[in-house]
Amino acid sequence: MARVLMASLAAILISAVAVAKESNDQQIRNRVAEFEAAWNKHDPQAMAAVWSAEGDLINPFGRKARGIAEIVKLFQEEQTGVMKSSTFSVTAVSVRYVEPTLALVDADAEISGIASPDGSPAPTLKPHITNLMRKSGGKWWILAARAMNYMSPPPPPSPPK
């Protein structure tokens, strides 16, 4: 009887953990989708709204911003400049929990419609973005975002020695 009770309790706990993880995964994916939608509306305030107040970012061009005001300013400059006609789409997302309320979120994206400095179309960017996100107040917030640009495939690995 005690074994059955313990097994039932363990199954309930495992099920609760799985449901919580699935819920958090979806909440994180929803936040990624919020950013994607805000980009495609070219709305710097809404883009920055997924960051925590102390958050920071480094964009694919190496520009840095710390805190909401700097992040909004960076997005305003981009979205009224070379990115004003761009389209941002997320092609893949993976989530790994460091702690129950801290996650490492990797995403692949494509940014098309970028203007070169001379106004001609630039090649589509294919950045890989790594976000450190924290759940606070029932929402997931970006603490740090690092975007790396992979315009062309990486070179093949060196042969073993």
* Domain 2-149 architecture: Roll (3.10)
pTM: 0.80
pLDDT digits (tens, 9 = 90+) for 61-103: 899 999 999 999 999 999 999 999 999 999 999 999 999 999 9
CA distance 10 to 158: 48
pLDDT digits (tens, 9 = 90+) for 47-62: 999 999 999 999 998 9
